[in-house]
Amino acid sequence: MNLPIKWSPASKDEYADLLNYVETQFGLDVALKLLDKTEMVLEGISEQPEMYPASEKFPSIRKAVITKQTSLLYRITGVEIQLLHFWDNRRNPESLEFLM
Q: pLDDT at position 96, please?
A: 55
- For the chain, which residues make up each domain, given as ranges? 5-89
Q: Which uninterrupted H or E stretch holds 72?
A: strand 70-76
Whether 7 and 81 have beta carbons less than 8 Å apart is answered as: no
Structural domain 5-89, CATH architecture: 2-Layer Sandwich (3.30)
Torsion of CA 64, 85, 92, 61, to 10 degrees: -60
For the chain, 100 residues long, give each residue's pLDDT as a single digit of tens.
Answer: 689 999 999 999 999 999 999 999 999 999 999 999 999 999 999 999 999 999 888 899 999 999 999 999 999 998 999 999 998 887 655 555 545 5
CB-based burial label for 79 (10 Å; 0-12, 13-18, 19+): exposed
Predicted TM-score (pTM) of this structure: 0.86
Kindly provide the b/e burial profile for residues 5-38, where b requires at least 16 CB atoms within 10 angstroms of the residue's own CB. Answer: bebeeebeebbeebbeebbeeeeeeebeebeeeb
